[in-house]
Chain A
């Protein structure tokens, strides 16, 4: 049987799925990137290989997420696409009439508006990571609780504390202040969930027409506290899919299928020696950082140079 592999390498977590010709999930996996996308992808591949039957042949690979180019090059992917398109395609495969996708991940958050199955508008957070998953996990650490328990604790609160939402730095000092003033812990945690939701709506969702059906995705969607905050703020029902965290990976697998390029994928690549190195081009004062990807000491690809001077250097070194 033919199957397609989709991998979504985010800043915090790495997701992999294998789908069949009808977009059904055969196997999936989800683990932390831990700052090392290559090792994470190797683990994903190992995990997926154990989960599928021997007779399944992977004939196409798609990658997405912030390390899509690096991993795509290593795996010889047939489709390397940005997260926005991948998420839209992935979500549409399950919810044909979706109008709004809210997505909050580890480093970025985005909103995708669709009409009739076509992306009509999107926005991504600008340079700052305020109101994303990394903010919540660092605050969880400060409060000494697990991120996984965050949502449950938040739901026990009856009166969420008001916490400044505009900027992470302000939110943090506001939080410390309120802890010292003696607010209840669960109220503060619920307040944090509200601050993430309202920060998102004020920054990313600014000026956008948010209509139902709304689907909430990304790592933060697993936090029921934030989901409830969104429902209260938008007065709409929010759908969180059990596979919401996999939508990017599913989308990239579908995109790989759509390219119609078939190239059999070998899981043995997880045992190959994959290396990356960065060199600084000394051709001019710009000092472009050139990334070189090597597989078993052979150069697969190199990028990062702004002019031709750098490209020659990458090939000969």
Chain B
């Protein structure tokens, strides 16, 4: 039987991971449908009610993929309930009568090469370590470039003159990078896209409002799950800084963890699980870099973030940073979010005008 591979959707990262899997295992990867209301309906129907919402999205993704004929599923894991996702989802899907094999590629907090190699060997017995290392390196590079482009785009997207011009550059990069196997050519593609982004005309005021998005990783990275918060912020002409991306989670986080702990030792002495500690540090960072406000997002019931929130409130209060907390669940009504973001925008704008002395009040 021909094997068909599937893995959950997450923001931009479908293409790099697909490329990694096809290049190492030579199996076909299902073209996953984009997350829609149907995905979350399917996911919530078969999930435990109180589980955090990324679980439901992932499960919905898996059901959609299995209905398209998937036989091999990949799931990762992390430092919170995410660690149990693979096992619980496997049980739920098997109970539903689907036939498949599930591989969890990150059983502990960090990705270990030997474990990954053993897993991949099951799918392709002829895979050499050398080949896997090369492919992982290329994928990390691909993801890194993609994240870099995203960071550049986020700085400009609120002010672009021709709507959609920046995203089309990114899409073009993804399309070309999918076919490219050499790291040097990948770099050339990246530089070309970067030049294009820098050349894109924008209409940016001298001192725009700048907002940092912090919070849980899945809701930060998957636009459907945060009701396209970044798009909404861009429509208010706000410059956005988002910290969490896959490059950060895969390797950058480990490099700066000790430094973060040192900087915020007044507030936290221990890690909080998942990105809790990182989010506390980010408040400090955003203050230092003169950002105007912070938006903290999390799925309802996200334990590490709930633990981090009181600390974040304290550090934000001490630094006089306006902050709002948003919780996302499976409903898709957007009106409440609009009201809160609009009010936050008014708050930041008035505050900025006051400090710059250009506000006339009556």
Which residues of A are in contact with B by a Cβ distance under 8 Å? 66, 81-85, 117-124, 126-127, 207, 284-287, 306
Q: Which of B39, B346, B351 is the most central at the interface, judged by chain A CB atoms within 10 Å of its CB?
A: B346
- A269–B219 CA distance with the chains assembled, in angstroms: 43
Which of B94-102, B148-156, B335-343 faces chain A?
A: B335-343
Option from A83, A119, A306 in Cβ contact (under 8 Å) with B339: A83
* A132 to B: closest C-beta gap in Å: 14
* A126 to B: closest C-beta gap in Å: 6
Contact A120 B351 (CB under 8 A): yes
Which applies to chain A's interface (DSSP): helix, strand, loop or mixed? loop
Chain A residue with the shortest CB-CB distance to B353: A118
* B300 to A: closest C-beta gap in Å: 8
Contact B340 A124 (CB under 8 A): yes
- A283–B300 CA distance with the chains assembled, in angstroms: 30
> A85 with B343: in contact, given A126-B327, A306-B228 (CB under 8 Å)?
yes
- A43–B15 CA distance with the chains assembled, in angstroms: 56
- A222–B323 CA distance with the chains assembled, in angstroms: 31
Q: B329 on the interface (CB 8 Å rule)?
A: yes
Q: B17 on the interface (CB 8 Å rule)?
A: no
* 5 A-B pairs in the complex with CB atoms less than 8 angstroms apart: A66-B335, A82-B339, A124-B339, A124-B340, A285-B36
* A92 to B: closest C-beta gap in Å: 8
Q: B258 on the interface (CB 8 Å rule)?
A: no
Contact A84 B343 (CB under 8 A): yes
- CB-CB under 8 A from B111, the residues of chain A are none
Contact B347 A120 (CB under 8 A): yes
Question: CB-defined interface of B294-334 with A at 8 Å, one 1/0 digit per residue?
Answer: 00000010000000001001000000001010010101000
- CB-CB under 8 A from A287, the residues of chain B are 36-38
Option from B39, B310, B327, B343 in Cβ contact (under 8 Å) with A82: B343
Question: CB-defined interface of B125-150 with A at 8 Å, one 1/0 digit per residue?
Answer: 00000000000000000000000000
Q: B179 on the interface (CB 8 Å rule)?
A: no
B-side interface residues, number (CB < 8 Å): 28
Chain B residue with the shortest CB-CB distance to A124: B340
Question: CB-defined interface of B111-130 with A at 8 Å, one 1/0 digit per residue?
Answer: 00000000000000000000
- A124–B331 CA distance with the chains assembled, in angstroms: 18
- A118–B355 CA distance with the chains assembled, in angstroms: 11
- A85–B342 CA distance with the chains assembled, in angstroms: 9
- CB-CB under 8 A from B324, the residues of chain A are 123
Chain A residue with the shortest CB-CB distance to B37: A286
Contact A117 B342 (CB under 8 A): no
- CB-CB under 8 A from A207, the residues of chain B are 310, 313
Q: Which of A82, A120, A124, A287 is the most central at the interface, judged by chain B CB atoms within 10 Å of its CB?
A: A82
Contact A84 B350 (CB under 8 A): no
> A119 with B361: in contact, given A83-B339, A285-B38, A286-B37 (CB under 8 Å)?
no
* B329 to A: closest C-beta gap in Å: 7
Option from B38, B310, B331 in Cβ contact (under 8 Å) with A286: B38
- A124–B39 CA distance with the chains assembled, in angstroms: 29
Q: B33 on the interface (CB 8 Å rule)?
A: yes
Chain B residue with the shortest CB-CB distance to A121: B322
Option from B39, B331, B350 in Cβ contact (under 8 Å) with A118: B350
Contact B327 A118 (CB under 8 A): no
- CB-CB under 8 A from B37, the residues of chain A are 285-287
* A241 to B: closest C-beta gap in Å: 19
Q: B172 on the interface (CB 8 Å rule)?
A: no
Chain A residue with the shortest CB-CB distance to B350: A118
* A24 to B: closest C-beta gap in Å: 14
Q: Which of A84, A118, A285 is the most central at the interface, judged by chain B CB atoms within 10 Å of its CB?
A: A285
* B286 to A: closest C-beta gap in Å: 17
Q: B171 on the interface (CB 8 Å rule)?
A: no
Contact A119 B347 (CB under 8 A): yes
- A121–B340 CA distance with the chains assembled, in angstroms: 12
- CB-CB under 8 A from A126, the residues of chain B are 327
- A207–B361 CA distance with the chains assembled, in angstroms: 29
Contact B361 A117 (CB under 8 A): yes
Chain B residue with the shortest CB-CB distance to A257: B362
